[in-house]
Chain A
Amino acid sequence: MKIYIIGAGISGSLIARELSKYEVEVHLIEKNPDVGWGVTKANSAIIHGGYDDPPGTVRAQFSSIGNKMYDQLSKELDFDFKRIGSYVVAFNENEVLYLKELKERGRKNGVTNLEIVDVKELKTKEPNINENAIAALWCPDAGITEPWEVAIAAIENARKNGLILHLSEKVVDIVVEKGKVKRLVTNKGEYKADIVINAAGLFADEIARMAGAEGFKIYPRKGEYILLDKKLNGLVNSVIFPTPTKTSKGVLVLPTVDGGILIGPNAVDLPVEEKSNLSTTKEGLTEIYGRAKHLVPGIDLSYTIKTFSGLRPENNRKDFIIGATKIWGFINVAGIRSPGLTAAPAFAKYIVEKIFPENLKVNLVKKKEFNPYRKRIPNMSYFNLEKWDKLVKKDPKYGKLVCFCNNVTEGEIVEAIKRGARTVDGVKFRTRASFGRCQGGFCGLKIIEILARELGISVEEVKQNYRNSWIIDGKVRI
């Protein structure tokens, strides 16, 4: 039996890892040159408490379970996960009523430890919050992580356990015969396939159409963000939400796992043709700044490191679309917008443990030798200096700092390349080099040089990310 997963985002990577626990041939196909570069790359990076989706929805069903799985998952895959809790802040009595509704919703979703706190308690933990706040809903289970690192870690671990990864490969057709999946056609070849799992993010509707599975429509909803300097570390200690509106959870203020501050997102629906429109806009950035400053007046844009935007795959059914279809062997994991990151470990398990045996009547056999552990690339923030000193003595490259903003050494960059980084962004998302305040001013050229050396290519061939993102044109003089 051959299983093909389409899309190496959070959903695809966690499903791949789940399947790598079983005796079966699993392929993961990704059209980008690296993993986690779609929806996964740019979102709020929150592990949600699981209280705010309407009870009975698929989203609610998986997010409260998924939340609880992150402690174990982050230990096995060695990625950053901090359960810092979240506040939904109310500024008037109407909003306090809404907090009560949220709390009740949480109870129905199985989130029983929510608490409405008064402004005094809020202020002791979050002294920088707007002083007009009157109450807040405290959710101790909420957390933060780095979504791309979760995808990278899951795929590294899955590959150790047998997963076959195809990068820069785009699915162009799915051949179905007599109501069953037969073959998968890509720009590089044709493969016999028994089961296809559609985790194609923004493009999941197009993939479903190829298989002739029932129709749904994905449309992109843009969210813009501003990342602020680590100098503002401590401005907030937990995830700060405003009281939500009908369409959105609103603009948040939260710490990132490595000590910066992130504000955003707004929510702008784009036409279906704009599934690659990742540009930021003046209106959007102005809006999120205004809203974030309302929550936390100490937000200061002179500490801006970068602005960026992400696209969320909204769909016309207003819920996750997860499960088997009328085409045998074709499984949808579509419309995975927020809280998709939170829910992913839960629905990955559900697909393998429920959909496979119950809907497809496929009973997979567990591997005896599955190794659940993956180790992160060594980084100084997680080592004491004694241990780092020993590492340098073994490999002096760990003694040469390349990225000064985030303390990333040449050893880490070489290791990232060994693990699959092929571009400057590939190095950046694996090591945080050039993620900091100077935005590659000091390390950019050095990273290009190291990539060229390790990959045996010229510096002109090194790309920022995608195929046409060349950086260096050629020699000044021969």
Chain B
Amino acid sequence: MRKEKVDVLVIGGGAAGLAAAIESANHGVKTILLERERKTGGVLNQCIHNGFGLHVFKQELTGPEFMELLWEELSKTSAIVKSDSTVLKIAPESKEVTVLSREGVVIYQVKSLIVSTGARERSLNNLGIPGARVAGVFTAGVVQKMVNIYNRLPGHNVLIVGSGDIGLIMARRLKIEGMNVVGVVEIMPEPGGLIRNVVQCLEDFDIPLWLSHTVTEIHGTGRLEGVTVAKVDGELKPILGTEKFLKVDTLVTSVGLIPQNGLIENFVEMDPINRGPVIDDLMRTSVEWIFAAGNNVAVHDLVDFVYEEGKIAGKYAALYALGEKLPGVKYNFKRGNNVGVMLPHRVTGEIPFKMYIRSKKILKSCEVKFNGKRFRIFNWKIRPSEMLDLHLNKFDAFSETTNVEVNELE
């Protein structure tokens, strides 16, 4: 087994990891980026639709175009990319990271670490929907990869379960490629994805969206033959008598993303609501040499945000590796009224930062308050599926423990 010393090791080569590696290498430290797939870019590789890059690059790009820009930036740095390389474990005491690749097992001795491992899709099996166990049930991301990378179709008649963004985008994609897209069912009374996707992917293509509906049973032997769909009540329980059978051979699910933190969750302080590490404005976790960025911290709405986080993590991980003393945490945020996903959890007060909040409920309009003092009003409908992003510097209402709330305005 080979051992190697490295200043900054980045785990995961999606948008966050690429940005982190670029920024870290630009600070003049030895940086290695590990990617477990054949090539970097993560899910951007298969996101051939547009809508990426508006914030960061001020232009509307496809996923692969966004990625090309990152690769170009990366190629100008000294960062080393190791693909087909998977981290097996992290030893928090010795700062050793064990990695498997075709060259064997390598142990990296790191100065600082950036975890940008992204999220995985929740599978239909994870939901415990009763019925047969058949082929033909896929997550939206798997079908996206099948269609866009492998050039293959999953079947003929398809129902989409869940109206997350990837589900909406795949409804459109499969319809364009000639599949009969029967519709999209969403258990909640509101769509789970961005409104622009509901309009551009469903309405523009005459694909029905059934809100407050769920799949109650899977039918078939071998391959999927159909599903039972029912309307649900206010408690999300199926309403008896509303069941109908839909003859489909393919089910595509978009029922949520789960941040992947299996490598660090046993020794880094975790936030059960974000399902990611507790983080500060430097993207530093509770372990001072471990930084995190991207969808493993919390599921984000836009790749641009993930990219920005990667840059921050890259910068401070590099400074830490250079031996600089980084500022300590001064203000801690506490979730108050209506605050769901929230990051960062605490800040140094030394730099401007962005805060992301998901409201727990749909609100007609709202105000965000810190310690009871209004910071900003949002004069439009707020949904849990769309993050509020706040640009903050030091705010005079901050204190050691700062209460954050999102209140509905009349």
Interface residues of A (CB under 8 A from B): 226, 276, 278-282, 284-285, 301, 304-308, 380, 385-386, 388-389, 392-393, 396-397, 399-401, 404, 407, 409, 437-442, 444-445, 449, 459-460, 463-477
Interface residues of B (CB under 8 A from A): 1, 36, 84, 86, 88, 98, 100-105, 120-121, 123, 125-128, 130-136, 138-139, 141-142, 145-147, 150-156, 177, 216-218, 221-223
Question: When A399-B102, A441-B121, A466-B222 are in contact, do A473 and B156 touch as well, CB less than 8 Å?
Answer: yes
* B152:A308 contact, CB within 8 angstroms: no
Closest approach, in angstroms, between the C-beta of B198 and any C-beta of chain A? 24
List of B residues within 8 angstroms of A468 by Cβ: 221-223
Partner of B126, one of A305, A389, A473, A476: A305
* B142:A445 contact, CB within 8 angstroms: yes
List of A residues within 8 angstroms of B221 by Cβ: 276, 466, 468
Partner of B150, one of A388, A442, A445: A445
List of A residues within 8 angstroms of B84 by Cβ: 399-400
A389 to B104, CA, bound (A): 5
A101 to B169, CA, bound (A): 62
A400 to B126, CA, bound (A): 26
* A301:B128 contact, CB within 8 angstroms: yes
* B104:A470 contact, CB within 8 angstroms: no
Closest approach, in angstroms, between the C-beta of A286 and any C-beta of chain B? 9
A372 to B177, CA, bound (A): 55
* A307:B222 contact, CB within 8 angstroms: no
* B121:A475 contact, CB within 8 angstroms: no
Partner of A473, one of B131, B152, B222: B152
Closest approach, in angstroms, between the C-beta of B301 and any C-beta of chain A? 21
List of A residues within 8 angstroms of B217 by Cβ: 279
A346 to B218, CA, bound (A): 40
Question: When A226-B128, A400-B102, A401-B100 are in contact, do A441 and B155 touch as well, CB less than 8 Å?
Answer: no
Closest approach, in angstroms, between the C-beta of B257 and any C-beta of chain A? 11
Beyond A392-B104, A472-B146, 15 additional pairs, beta carbon < 8 A: A279-B130, A279-B132, A279-B218, A280-B133, A282-B216, A304-B128, A438-B120, A438-B121, A445-B146, A464-B135, A466-B221, A472-B150, A472-B154, A473-B153, A473-B154
List of A residues within 8 angstroms of B100 by Cβ: 388, 392, 399, 401, 409
* A469:B146 contact, CB within 8 angstroms: no
- The total number of A-B Cβ pairs within 8 Å is 140
Closest approach, in angstroms, between the C-beta of A53 and any C-beta of chain B? 31
* A396:B102 contact, CB within 8 angstroms: yes
Indicate the member of B128, B134, B141 with the most A CB atoms within 10 Å: B128
A397 to B132, CA, bound (A): 35
Indicate the member of B1, B125, B127 with the most A CB atoms within 10 Å: B125
Partner of A304, one of B98, B103, B126: B126
Chain A residue with the shortest CB-CB distance to B152: A472
- A and B contact pairs by CB, cutoff 8 A, 19 listed: A276-B221, A279-B132, A279-B218, A280-B128, A285-B128, A285-B130, A305-B126, A306-B126, A386-B1, A389-B105, A392-B105, A400-B101, A400-B102, A442-B120, A445-B146, A463-B135, A465-B222, A474-B153, A475-B152
Partner of B104, one of A399, A407, A437: A399
Closest approach, in angstroms, between the C-beta of A306 and any C-beta of chain B? 4
List of A residues within 8 angstroms of B138 by Cβ: 444
List of A residues within 8 angstroms of B126 by Cβ: 304-306, 437, 439
* B120:A476 contact, CB within 8 angstroms: no
Closest approach, in angstroms, between the C-beta of B81 and any C-beta of chain A? 16
List of B residues within 8 angstroms of A407 by Cβ: 88
Closest approach, in angstroms, between the C-beta of A118 and any C-beta of chain B? 33
Indicate the member of B98, B105, B132, B216 with the most A CB atoms within 10 Å: B105
A437 to B320, CA, bound (A): 34
List of B residues within 8 angstroms of A284 by Cβ: 130
Partner of B152, one of A278, A397, A409, A476: A476
* B1:A385 contact, CB within 8 angstroms: yes
List of B residues within 8 angstroms of A467 by Cβ: 222
Chain A residue with the shortest CB-CB distance to B177: A476
A466 to B223, CA, bound (A): 9
Partner of B222, one of A306, A392, A469, A474: A469
A473 to B158, CA, bound (A): 12
Closest approach, in angstroms, between the C-beta of B40 and any C-beta of chain A? 16
Chain B residue with the shortest CB-CB distance to A282: B130
* B135:A470 contact, CB within 8 angstroms: yes
List of A residues within 8 angstroms of B105 by Cβ: 385-386, 388-389, 392
A438 to B156, CA, bound (A): 25
* B123:A438 contact, CB within 8 angstroms: yes
Closest approach, in angstroms, between the C-beta of A276 and any C-beta of chain B? 7
List of B residues within 8 angstroms of A477 by Cβ: 151
* A393:B104 contact, CB within 8 angstroms: yes
Question: When A388-B105, A399-B103 are in contact, do A473 and B155 touch as well, CB less than 8 Å?
Answer: yes
Chain B residue with the shortest CB-CB distance to A467: B222
List of A residues within 8 angstroms of B146 by Cβ: 445, 472
List of B residues within 8 angstroms of A226 by Cβ: 128
A305 to B155, CA, bound (A): 25
A187 to B143, CA, bound (A): 37
Closest approach, in angstroms, between the C-beta of B167 and any C-beta of chain A? 14
Chain A residue with the shortest CB-CB distance to B150: A445
Chain B residue with the shortest CB-CB distance to A472: B152
Closest approach, in angstroms, between the C-beta of A473 and any C-beta of chain B? 5
A279 to B156, CA, bound (A): 23
Partner of B145, one of A386, A445, A460, A466: A445
A441 to B98, CA, bound (A): 24
Partner of A307, one of B125, B151, B155: B125
* B86:A401 contact, CB within 8 angstroms: yes
Chain A residue with the shortest CB-CB distance to B179: A473
* B125:A306 contact, CB within 8 angstroms: yes
Chain A residue with the shortest CB-CB distance to B1: A389
A180 to B170, CA, bound (A): 62
Indicate the member of A399, A440, A464, A474 with the most B CB atoms within 10 Å: A399
